[in-house]
Structure 1
Amino acid sequence: MGSGGGTSVEAVFFGTTTVWLSDGASGILIDGFLSRPSLLRVAFGRVAPDLGRITGALARAGVTRLDALFVAHSHYDHVMDAPEIVKHLGGRLFGSESTLNVGRGAGLAEESMTRIADGGEHTVGAFTVRVLAAVHSPGNRFRGTIDEPLVPPVRASSYRDGGCFSFFITHPGGSLLIHPSANFVPGKFDGLDVDVLYLATGALGVQPRRFQDDYWRHVVEATRPGLIVPIHWDNFFVSLDRRLRPLPPVFDRFAATKAFLDRRSEEARIPVRFPEPFEVTRPFAR
């Protein structure tokens, strides 16, 4: 992927919080959740990476090699597939100690994994990834840490969050903030100069108006992006072979989220763009 030189960054969205970035020389994946098991399996069965779905999705997007995979937190819909993607494409797994225990359970070598922490900076070719501590969206059902190697198939609840992160990614072409959970640490993003904000909106529609306004203030107003790309809004119990659709009403009220985004983005004059899965975009092109 990518052909336009050092400042020509391309991005692909794969649903949930999975975002691929490449400048043609280096490739970064955030999370990498491609298996997307059904709600029935998640609720009542055991989950494990689906290698066919993983390799099929990567091939469809034209992703053939990887330098770094950063995991936002270690719930199954963020971390489960990450070690298998690294084994398939190469590169290094970056995440919390809980994420590294998922890597160990999948047989990744210690030298291909790096533990991350708040404030850490990691160089990947022309990209710099700054790690920022975050908090999970309200209603975190699987709190805690993964304290030993996790070997799937396991219950989805075995994937404890292990601590949450956002990623501020800079490149000669521009800057992105990938914010994978719809919650905020007051003042955390003050002073960041962000061109494109990948903004988690999952469960935002069922939150009180005050929370929604605080979220906008501490994430969007703090970073003043030129573009908002919503993430983690889609029904991740449905395969990527099918069209993306919002989470069911039992989990979120997408219409309320959309109305909120429309209103606030119009007031702030910041465009909002929902990308299609597998669509190649140039986030810094205007």
Structure 2
Amino acid sequence: MDKGLSRRGLFGAGAAAAAILAGTPATAAARSAMTLRWWGNNGWEIRVGTKTVLIDPWLTRFKTGTYTPAGADPRTPLSVNRALIDGHLDRGFLRADHILVTHGHYDHLTDVPYLAERTGATVIGTETHLSLMAALGAPEDQLAIATGGEDLTFDGYSIRVLRSLHSATGSRAQVAFPGTRTLSRRDRPRVISDLLEGGTLAYAVSGGGASVLNLGGSNYLESELAGLHPDVVLLPPGGAKVTDYVPRLLRTLGHPRWVAATHWDDFDFPLGQVKDAGGLEPLRKAVAAASPGSGFVVLDHLGEFTP
């Protein structure tokens, strides 16, 4: 059965279909007060009433060559498109009470210091993530360190921080730009290879009668997820080097009602130009095979979904 999703905020009538869904959706009466909006890559906005949580917001999307045969050029300069971000903020289309960082790579962290400055949001991340953000100008009194295991309650929503793993790629199952740095470091990152992975976190956000789990990479710690039963899992494609990546995850989570694709678009294209980087269809097939009762959700940039 298919379910139509709101197209508010989409970029033009020519955009790709807002959603591809399979499985049994919730009825309108059972829908939660939580709304999810996809900002491309692993950027998500979770709204519960008047509160907003952002995960890995990266609107700038400068070209790196990540999805070309040569891969990302590590010397690519970092940049922040402040005019683009300001446009969304100034018209009230983007806001934040919390910003959650899954890891330190450029496509997850680059815009966060400026967004923190503009919104006043509290930012959660590891010591490395906070060191990088402070060096990039984030207000230090807004940075909250996490190591995984934190279970935090705020006005109208809660955030559970989970230890996790970054995607493992290539014949040696390696992590791109690995490494850590201490909070005392203040040398400013200049190119994308300066933004170290710095440990990977996953986040479970609950509120408004629903819960959502975000994985920042195509890997996870199964023991950390045991006992979690989110309504929605935001799942990246890939995981070729991870044993039973999709079936083991969905089985551990009790076969969630919804699986929403994340981190599947080619981010060398600007926000509003959605191009599959190649992993979307394999992910859809893997979810259908492993958990046929789960609805599979695909959004356009700035598309919305209410679980």
* TM norm. shorter chain > 0.5: yes
In structure 1, C-alpha distance between the alignment counterparts of 2:259 and 2:93, rounded to whole Å = 25
**Structural mapping, 1:162-177, within 5 Å:** 162-177=198-213
Question: 2:154 matched to which residue of 1?
Answer: 124
Deviations 1:222-250 (A, max 9, x none): 112110001011111210032x1122xxx
Deviations 1:6-63 (A, max 9, x none): x612211011111111123211101111111112595143112221232335567812
The letter of the residue matching 2:259 is I
Distance 1:12 1:150, change over 3 A: farther
Question: 2:77 matched to which residue of 1?
Answer: 46
Question: 1:222 matched to which residue of 2?
Answer: 252
**Structural mapping, 1:53-64, within 5 Å:** 53-58=84-89, 62-63=93-94
Whether 1:273 and 2:297 are equivalent positions in the alignment is yes
Q: Which of 258, 269, 290 is equivalent to 1:264?
A: 290
Question: 2:117 matched to which residue of 1?
Answer: 87
The letter of the residue matching 2:304 is V
Whether 1:78 and 2:115 are equivalent positions in the alignment is no
Question: 1:68 matched to which residue of 2?
Answer: 98
The letter of the residue matching 1:197 is V
Poorly superposed stretches of 4+, deviation over 6 Å? none
In structure 1, C-alpha distance between the alignment counterparts of 2:301 and 2:248, rounded to whole Å = 28
Question: 1:141 matched to which residue of 2?
Answer: 176
Distance 1:60 1:262, change over 3 A: farther
Distance 1:26 1:256, change over 3 A: closer
In structure 2, C-alpha distance between the alignment counterparts of 1:256 and 1:280, rounded to whole Å = 23
Whether 1:106 and 2:136 are equivalent positions in the alignment is yes
Preserved contact between residue 99 and residue 112 of structure 2 (Cα < 8 Å): yes
The offset of 1:258, in angstroms, is 3.5
Whether 1:35 and 2:35 are equivalent positions in the alignment is no
**Superposition CA RMSD, Å:** 2.3
Question: Percent of pairs identical after alignment?
Answer: 23
Greater mean alpha carbon deviation, residues 139-148 or residues 83-92 = 139-148
The offset of 1:215, in angstroms, is 1.5
In structure 1, C-alpha distance between the alignment counterparts of 2:279 and 2:214, rounded to whole Å = 22
Preserved contact between residue 78 and residue 192 of structure 2 (Cα < 8 Å): yes
In structure 1, C-alpha distance between the alignment counterparts of 2:92 and 2:247, rounded to whole Å = 34
Of structures 1 and 2, the one scoring higher in RCO (CA 8 A, sep 6+) is: 2
In structure 2, C-alpha distance between the alignment counterparts of 1:40 and 1:180, rounded to whole Å = 20
Question: 2:47 matched to which residue of 1?
Answer: 22
Whether 1:239 and 2:270 are equivalent positions in the alignment is yes
Higher helix share: 1
Preserved contact between residue 234 and residue 259 of structure 2 (Cα < 8 Å): yes
Distance 1:150 1:277, change over 3 A: farther
The offset of 1:262, in angstroms, is 3.5
In structure 2, C-alpha distance between the alignment counterparts of 1:228 and 1:150, rounded to whole Å = 39
In structure 2, C-alpha distance between the alignment counterparts of 1:235 and 1:60, rounded to whole Å = 27
Distance 1:79 1:227, change over 3 A: same
User: Helix, strand or coil for the counterpart of 2:222?
Assistant: coil
Question: 1:181 matched to which residue of 2?
Answer: 217
Gaps of at least 5 residues in structure 1 are 2-6
User: Helix, strand or coil for the counterpart of 1:87?
Assistant: helix
User: Helix, strand or coil for the counterpart of 2:297?
Assistant: coil
Distance 1:83 1:69, change over 3 A: same
Number of aligned residue pairs:
263
The letter of the residue matching 2:262 is I
**Structural mapping, 1:190-205, within 5 Å:** 190-201=226-237, 203-204=238-239
Preserved contact between residue 104 and residue 150 of structure 1 (Cα < 8 Å): no
The letter of the residue matching 2:195 is Y
The offset of 1:264, in angstroms, is 2.8
In structure 1, C-alpha distance between the alignment counterparts of 2:291 and 2:91, rounded to whole Å = 32
TM-score, with length taken from structure 1: 0.84
User: Helix, strand or coil for the counterpart of 1:188?
Assistant: helix
